[in-house]
Amino acid sequence: MNAASAHHSDAAFDSHQLVTLRGVVTRFSWENPHIRVYLDVTDARGAITAWAVEGNPPGRIGGKGLKDALEVGQVVTVSAYRAKDPSARLASGYELTLADGRRFIIGSRIAPR
């Protein structure tokens, strides 16, 4: 396996754990090799947990308008595959939805194994 295919492996994420995260954007990184959106997600008991959601490289998302639409402080909903490590609050994002309903594909679906 070469370095590029190793880097783009989805082995760290669980294809059976598609989760929906709704939270407030605390920051985002729009640089290679992947974008990242950081969220504060509040659970049913009111506890806040920080999550990092990784997406595709910026060049694969850039022309879709997300970079200009995404702002710190806004509420977003993300469909993502949770990391296999249950203690990690990291996910591989598939779709991000803004509060106004605009949807952006930010990653790939992971085929179940």
- Sorted by where each starts, the structural domains of the chain and their CATH numbers stand as 16-105 (2.40.50.140)
* Mean pLDDT in residue range 38-59: 95
27, β-bridge pairs:
38
Within 2-96, where are the H helices?
3-7, 58-61, 66-69
pLDDT in tens, 88-103: 999 999 999 999 999 9
DSSP code of 43?
-
pTM reported for the whole predicted model? 0.85
Assign 62 to helix, strand or coil: helix
